[in-house]
Amino acid sequence: MNSNPQNGTLVKKYGLALHTASRELGLAISNFAGDSRCQTWNLDRDLATHLHQYLVEFIQPQTWADLAFIAVAKGPGGFTGTRMGMVTARTLAQQLDIPVFAVSTLAAVAYNSSKKSMSTQDMALQMPAQRGQLFGAVYSVNSNSGLTELFPDTVMTPESWQEKLASWGNSYQLIEVGSELGSSVFSVLELAYLEWKQGIRPDWSDALPYYGQHPVQGK
């Protein structure tokens, strides 16, 4: 591998990110030295049919051997899409013998928002879940890893979330997360790269999805 673990630079290698946790497919690739690209497609139910085709076409002119790591959105999000992206990332990483960074979809939205607003407030994110519940999380920006998790991604009732926010000690920016998340794929890649630069190398087998809820009623 042409990476340098001492300073965390990718040199001639690239990081690849997949975001399949919503109706959008998001792909991003970068060597963080001037060569980056990112693209999204609204595939909805056709994600399973076209994911691998789009991935093979997107990575060109790079090859699989050019990858130093893979990042993947781990959820919360759609059950089937999230699982598909995670399986794809784990399989590729196992075959290529490279790390996989599993990144929260809410963390990616928070990081994306922080870059746009330059706000120093805590970021409280809420996202609709099944059966009248929602996902909630709170993050803050830091200079090292990009984000600090202040309240982890959690599924709860709207009432419980409101109680959590009402008792929150700091001022915060409330971000309502929609159903199309593919455009935050580059933030998934950037958050992974920040960990890569710190020397973190998670094994593919440690990359696990976060569903929060069972897809079947009552589970």
pLDDT in tens, 116-131: 776 678 999 999 998 8
Count how many Cα atoms sit within 13 Å of the Cα of residue 4 in the half-sphere of its side chain: 8
Residue environment code for 56-82, b if the CB has 16+ CB neighbours within 10 A, otherwise e: eebbeebeeebbbbbbbbbbbbbbebb
Q: Does the pLDDT at position 214 exceed 80?
A: no
Query: Residue holding tokens 């998001």?
Result: 26
Where do the structural domains in the chain lie, given as residue ranges?
14-104+180-206, 106-176
CATH 3.30.1330.180 fits 106-176, yes or no: no
pTM for the model stands at 0.89
Mean local confidence (pLDDT), 29-41: 95
pLDDT band for position 115 (cuts 50, 70, 90): confident
Instruction: Give percent of the chain above pLDDT 90.
Output: 73
Mean local confidence (pLDDT), 81-109: 96
Confidence at residue 116, expressed as pLDDT on a 0 to 100 scale: 78
Q: What is the DSSP letter of 102?
A: E
pLDDT band for position 215 (cuts 50, 70, 90): low
Architecture of domain 14-104+180-206: 2-Layer Sandwich (3.30)
